[in-house]
Amino acid sequence: MTSAVPKVIVMTCEHAAAISTFEIAQLVIQIVGLTAIVLTLLVYYRQLLTMQAQRKALEQEIAARMRPWIGLFDFGMYAPDVPSTDQALKILLRNSGQLPAQNARLSLVVGPADARNGESDESSRWEEASTKALVPGEEGNYRIRTSAFPRFDHWRIDRRDVVVTGCMVYSLDNALFRTEFEGTLRYSEGLDESGNVKTRWRNRIVV
C-alpha cells in the first residue's frame, strides 16, 4: 500500500506536465493565429489607404481638368507711337480650361516699379465695370486707356518702369477661382527694334 503513493504522485506530476504543455501549445497557436489576423488586417488597412489616396488623386485630376482656367497670354501697349492720350494697355486673357468661366471680372493696380524717397503711393486702381463669361478657348482681349491712370504719363516721361498687377476672379456654379498676374512696362530700357516698349510678364497664381 505504501508503494502505491509515490506512483500516484508521479502520475499526477506527469499529468500536470502534460496539461501544462498542452496549454502552452494552445497559447502559442492562439498567439500565432492572432498575429496572422493582425497582419492581415494591417495589410487590408494599408491597401484601403492606398485605394483612398488613388481615388482622391483621380478626383483631383478630374476636378483640375473639368474647370475653367484663365491665364495671361499677352501683355504690352497698343499704339505706342500715337499721342499719349490714345495709348492703351494690352492685356490678353484666355480660358484654356474645359468649362466656361462665369462672372469673370478683371481688376488692375498700376504704379511705378521704384518707390522714390518722400513719394506717396501713386498706384492707381481700375476695375471692370461688369462681369462676363468666357467659354473654353475664348479670349478676353482688353484695351485699357492709360488715361485711366492719372500719373501714367509722368512715369513714362521719366522713363520709370511701370508695374501692372492684375487679378481676374471668376466662378463655375458655386466654385470660385482666381488668377493673378503681373506685367512690367520697361520704360527705363527704351523701346525695342520695332518701336515698342519692352515688357516682362508672368502668371503668378491660378487657383
163/117: higher pLDDT: 163
Quick: pLDDT tens for 176-192: 999 999 999 999 998 88
In one letter, which amino acid is 200? Answer: R
- Cell match 518701336: residue? 195
| Angular region, 126: left φ>0, alpha ψ -120 to 50, beta rest | beta
46/22: higher pLDDT: 46
* Separation CA 21–CA 18 (nearest Å): 5
* Separation CA 64–CA 175 (nearest Å): 12
Q: What pLDDT does 11 receive?
A: 55
* Separation CA 186–CA 113 (nearest Å): 9
Q: What pLDDT does 120 receive?
A: 62
Quick: pLDDT tens for 65-80: 679 999 999 999 986 5
Cell of 123: 498706384
Quick: pLDDT tens for 91-134: 999 999 999 999 999 999 999 998 765 566 678 999 999 999 99
Q: What pLDDT does 110 receive?
A: 96
Vertex 176: Cα angle to 56 and 131 (nearest 5): 150
* Separation CA 129–CA 107 (nearest Å): 10
